[in-house]
Homo-oligomer: A and B are copies of this chain.
């Protein structure tokens, strides 16, 4: 009697982590997935994402043509996939890291001084 397959986790980041592990494992890609390689691949994908915006005014970038948006969407997916994989390899809980960083940002950018400003926290 076989077990029914487990349902996917309710949390997308956990679901992707498991899916990426299986994907890499089936392809014997573990040796290539050093944290350095993954951080490099993530940066390369960020550049590919940015390429779509490089000649646009800010206002234009909020109204992308459908084919550009479709391409941008997949580049964003690439960034997320490498980020989730990197987190897995480093043993980092990505959601908790983001929550911690948001708490730090709330301290660095108090509403009273940061409101309407583009300044970096060390210049507020």
User: Chain A interface (Cβ within 8 Å of chain B)?
Assistant: 10-13, 15-16, 19-20, 23, 26-29, 32, 34-37, 39-44, 46-62, 64, 69, 72-74, 76-81, 83-84, 86-87, 89-90, 92, 94-95, 97-102, 104-106, 109, 111, 114-118
Contacts and interface: CB of A to CB of B under 8 A. Distances in A.
Contact of A81 (B44, B57, B86, B101): B101
A88 to B, nearest CB: 11
Contact of A40 (B32, B53, B81, B115): B53
Given A11-B12, A16-B98, A39 B28 contact: no
Contacts of A47: 43-44, 46-48, 50
Contacts of A92: 69, 72-73, 76
- Tell me how many chains of this kind the complex includes: 4
A101 B41 CA distance: 15
Contacts of A62: 34-35, 89
A106 B27 CA distance: 10
A71 to B, nearest CB: 11
B26 A111 contact: yes
A23 B76 contact: no
